[in-house]
Amino acid sequence: MHTSGAAWKVHFVVEGHNWPDDPLLERADVGRPRLDAGRPFLLHGSGAAHEAVNAFFASGRMRNLSEGTNRKYAYSLCTWINFLSLRNKGWDSAVEGDLFDFRFWRTTDFSNDRRVAGSTWQGNRAGILAFHDWAVDRLGAARLLPLAERRTSDGRSGTRDRRSSSTSVRSADVKWLTPGAFRLWRDVGVHGISREGLERTRWRPRMQGRDAGFVDGLYSTGLRIQELASLVVPELPPAGDGRGFVTARLADRCAKGGHGRRFWIGRSALDGIWDYVETERAGSVRSAQDKGLYQRVPGMLVVDEVGSDGSVRASRAGVVVRSRLRDLSPKDRLKLFKETDGGLEPLSLWLNEDGLPRGKKAWYTTFRLANARVEKGGIERLKCHPHMLRHSFALRWYAVGRLVWERGSREDRFEDFREQFGDTWSLVQTMLGHRDVATTKSIYLEPFLGLDVQFLLAHHASDPETGTAFDLVRGDPRVRFLGPEES
């Protein structure tokens, strides 16, 4: 499909814009509640606003979802509406067959040179169904898919529609890295070390400590990229504790689904992050203070106090604001500052080289550059993306769990293997913060699960890569091992 210059396009409300003085925003308003900063809206090349879609993004349903979800849904809907436009159809006349044709074009049709993987299509589909469901309730539109043949956008009810869902995820793509493969990727891609373990003489890294701290943090904690990127310095566990792993807390508004939880971070990864805080981060802050960059941040909140319970007392333009850290979204946190002897300083843990808070999207550049260095180093099939480290975290801890229990119950391991297999995955689900654990386990076994996680952490020094658990997946092309030629 080729779109002309008159196609629908996604725009975003910019922070600090004055609505009455902006004709673009005025066209998007179309008599609906006005969109807040960062909210997407659709305009046609002719200047017309898409009334239904813009009202959808101004609705309470979308205002309570994350900025990332809004962005993904916006681009999905824009592509969908442009697809329908080429068929001389409006969104309100689309039928079941149009969605199936759209899926074929997005994932399979060779006339489309920008085909997407199955996981991307599932995101497209979720956005489209969310909009059409909202339109059924609010605008009286016809339902796009019959309830008996669809899966709701949150995936928790209805029968999965196999025709419009996708099985086109590439099964041979690497999805997990073993500990050795991760270390190789990090050393070559982030630290600039050659595959032979030698330092490059012309390596001039920029914010190497920050990037290494972040990727180590993802792999050590299993957090999602937005979750780790949203941490503020007061939430970082203190340095100097002798334990192998330290317990921390993820804020509700920063966790997927809005449900905060405990997470655990390894001492080595935590020490690396604190090294970054005390060196590169401190230098970036001083540079920004000298240039007066922080005084020009729009909507800044100057924090006067952070209580031991996470309560925050801050001021904006002389007005006192009280909140709790766990109730502040990733976007809100980018505007938190404190007064120091040297001047203003961000509370955000992760900063750009210029000292300004680093948002989620910037981390994809870090991974892209690291992957390019690994490829340049001649190492094949060793690419890493942020969510891959979460998958790899799960694989490692499942392997550790298997080793722990097998060593403790070799005599009856065949008799209760199925029970142990379930127990191991329940522990990993706890560490990942998944909410699809059976109600009995999540309510009645929670204290035992917490204790067993601590038991697992005590065995973190074990090397599961050489154990039988990893041998079970050694022939799977989706799991990247550190091959003998790279050892």
Cα dihedral 479, 485, 486, 487 sign: positive
Looking at the fold, whether 318 and 395 belong to one and the same domain comes out as no
Looking at the fold, whether 44 and 74 belong to one and the same domain comes out as yes
Residue 157 lies in a domain: no
**Where does a domain end: 101, 123, 149?**
149
**Where does a domain end: 328, 359, 390?**
359
pLDDT tens per residue across span 198-251: 777 676 778 999 999 999 999 999 999 999 999 999 999 998 766 788 999 999
pLDDT at 198: 78
Alpha helices in 150-221 (DSSP H): 179-189, 208-221
pLDDT exceeds cutoff 80 at 313: yes
Cα dihedral 8, 10, 13, 15 sign: negative
Range of the structural domain that residue 273 is part of: 231-359
pLDDT at 156: 39
Looking at the fold, whether 331 and 386 belong to one and the same domain comes out as no
Residue 131: which region, alpha, beta or left (left: phi > 0; alpha: psi -120 to 50)? alpha
Structural domains of the chain, count:
3
User: Which range among 61-65, 325-329, 406-410, 462-466 has the greatest average pLDDT?
Assistant: 325-329
pLDDT at 40: 92
Looking at the fold, whether 467 and 396 belong to one and the same domain comes out as yes
* CA 254 – CA 32 distance, rounded (Å): 28
Q: How far is CA 281 from the centre of its chain?
A: 23
Residue 271 lies in a domain: yes
pLDDT at 3: 41
pLDDT at 143: 84
Residue 45 lies in a domain: yes
pLDDT tens per residue across span 190-207: 998 887 777 776 767 789
pLDDT at 436: 60
Looking at the fold, whether 346 and 439 belong to one and the same domain comes out as no
pLDDT exceeds cutoff 50 at 365: yes
User: Mean of the per-residue pLDDT values for the chain?
Assistant: 79
Looking at the fold, whether 98 and 144 belong to one and the same domain comes out as yes
Residue 189 lies in a domain: no
Nearest Cα neighbor of 217 from 283, 278, 181, 271 is 271
Look at the block and give the residue holding tokens 């990942």. 432
Q: Can you tell me whether residue 34 is helix, strand or coil? A: coil
**Where does a domain end: 126, 149, 172?**
149
Looking at the fold, whether 392 and 313 belong to one and the same domain comes out as no
Residue 185 lies in a domain: no
Looking at the fold, whether 35 and 138 belong to one and the same domain comes out as yes
Report field, pTM of the whole predicted structure over 0.85:
no
Residues of the chain above pLDDT 70, percent:
72
Residue 366 lies in a domain: no
pLDDT exceeds cutoff 70 at 125: yes
Looking at the fold, whether 353 and 379 belong to one and the same domain comes out as no
CB 403 within 8 A of CB 464: yes
Looking at the fold, whether 44 and 97 belong to one and the same domain comes out as yes
Looking at the fold, whether 330 and 425 belong to one and the same domain comes out as no
Looking at the fold, whether 341 and 385 belong to one and the same domain comes out as no
